[in-house]
Amino acid sequence: MPYCDSDDVRLVCGVAENVISSGDIGGLIVYSDQEIDDIIGSSFGESVPTRINRLSALLTSIQIYSRPDLRFRLGKAGIDEQQIEKNLDRWQAEANEIFEFYSDDEKTGEFRVVQA
């Protein structure tokens, strides 16, 4: 089960269907969710925590705004390069905070380093 859906992603990044289809967003969500599982070291089943839902939407939005072909379409939709970079920085910082929340496990004393 995906950790978020295309509506969650559109809510974060504000990208309309004419820029990227829901099916394409769904494909990107698969990669985001796998990255979450790989970094956090566990998988979330049917009950997806709100933070993980948000993290999946953030990582997918980062992928969308980072793709050169979509940057062109974003520009045509009125989002300039400066706003794209500002959003990417903000989303990456928020994603790192969520990764850090799940990385420090006081019960086992393990800590995973999360890189920006």
DSSP secondary structure letters along the chain: --SS-HHHHHHHH---TTTS-HHHHHHHHHHHHHHHHHHHS----SS--HHHHHHHHHHHHHHHHH-HHHHHHHHHTT--HHHHHHHHHHHHHHHHHHHHHHHEETTTTEE-----
pTM of the model: 0.85
Break the chain into its structural domains and give their ranges.
Answer: 6-111
Residue 104, pLDDT score: 58
For tokens 């992928």, the residue is 63
> In which band, very low, low, confident or very high, does the pLDDT at 75 lie, cut at 50, 70 and 90?
confident
65 Cβ neighbours under 8 A, 6+ residues apart: 13, 71, 74, 84, 87, 88, 91
Residue 105, pLDDT score: 54
